[in-house]
Amino acid sequence: MNLWDCWPSPVEIIGSTAVEAMLMEAACAPAPGLVDRFNSGAHQDMDFFTFIKSSSALGPAMYYCANVGWQHTGSSQELLPVLRTIGQKAEKVMFAATNGINTQKGLLFLLGIMTAAAAKSLRGGYPNSIIEVTLKEAAQICAGIVERELKSLQCILPERKLTAGEQLFLNYGITGIRGEIEAGLPIVRNQGLPCLQEALEVGLTLNDALIHALIGIMCKAQDTTVLNRHNPSTLTEIQETARSILQAGGMLTDMGRKRIEELDKEYARRRISPGGSADLLAIVYFLYCLQQKCN
């Protein structure tokens, strides 16, 4: 057998694009408060090389998730437990590669679902509308997840320790990434992708366009990483600051660029890390890049 025939061609494209998205998100700079190729932002326990190790470790899982989506013939919701099994195994591999540091656990959940959704969409014959159909498919895979996994906590608590996302829901009513993906990732669709496309269309480099999209995402994201480390008032501050920077032009203007550079230093000092927004940025790049490859 030809070694290049291990996966169907669409699975190879989707899997490699997912790995590319993880690396692009980690590399783009200056990413306020986040690990990038120049500094570790708000993080003292990881750096850019940690993310290279993590992304490489998670690579095989992206292909497996895409292949599961490609082969699946049942209902979309039946995919979720299968994807979670793959994710649980991949998480152990990630922690082994990073010496126990949580670099991309949230992104693993998101990209695992998105790769399966993209593959299922392509198998259904929607290459010209891959972004729209993939977002819809991802929402269907996660249909009812907020009701099952978060709202049920209001009636009875599990005997195990609550996850950060579960605790934040009980404390603040934030549904986090579960709610976002069940809704079809509106921040990706309405904020991240338009900002990325706008920046690229006027000639910005890919790096600068990604940072522009990140600021756009930060305007709206209910970032659970921020909430877990800080509080709702800090999150509100981040959203308002991002909106003011975008109004100043973001990466499209000298003033916007200067403010982003200053924010990078400030968030590093204050240990503010918009990690949830970073995960959504990776999804923005994944979908944008996949569309380019499918057209």
Which pTM was predicted?
0.95
- Paired tokens of 216: 């756009």
**pLDDT at 162 (0 to 100):** 85
User: What does the alpha-carbon distance between residue 66 and residue 185 come to, in Å, rounded to a whole number?
Assistant: 19
Every domain of the chain and the residues it spans: 3-294
**DSSP string computed for 14-59:** HHHHHHHHHHHHHH-S--TTS--SS--TT-SS--HHHHHHHHHHHH
Return the closest-CA partner of residue 32 out of 288, 254, 250.
250
User: What does the alpha-carbon distance between residue 223 and residue 187 come to, in Å, rounded to a whole number?
Assistant: 11
Q: Say what the alpha-carbon torsion angle 35, 39, 42, 45 is, to the nearest 10 degrees.
A: 80
User: What does the alpha-carbon distance between residue 260 and residue 241 come to, in Å, rounded to a whole number?
Assistant: 10
**pLDDT at 258 (0 to 100):** 98
User: What does the alpha-carbon distance between residue 101 and residue 266 come to, in Å, rounded to a whole number?
Assistant: 24
**pLDDT at 5 (0 to 100):** 67
- Residue 171 buriedness (CB in 10 A; 0-12 / 13-18 / 19+): exposed
181 within 8 A of 106, measured Cβ to Cβ: no
DSSP state, residue 147: H
pLDDT tens for 262-292 read 999 999 999 999 999 999 999 999 999 999 9
**pLDDT at 1 (0 to 100):** 46
As a whole number of Å, the CA-based R_g of the chain is: 18
187 within 8 A of 180, measured Cβ to Cβ: yes
pLDDT tens for 109-144 read 999 999 999 999 999 887 779 999 999 999 999 999
Give residue for tokens 């549904």. 175
User: What does the alpha-carbon distance between residue 23 and residue 102 come to, in Å, rounded to a whole number?
Assistant: 16
**pLDDT at 175 (0 to 100):** 92
Report residues of the chain scoring pLDDT below 70.
Answer: 1-5
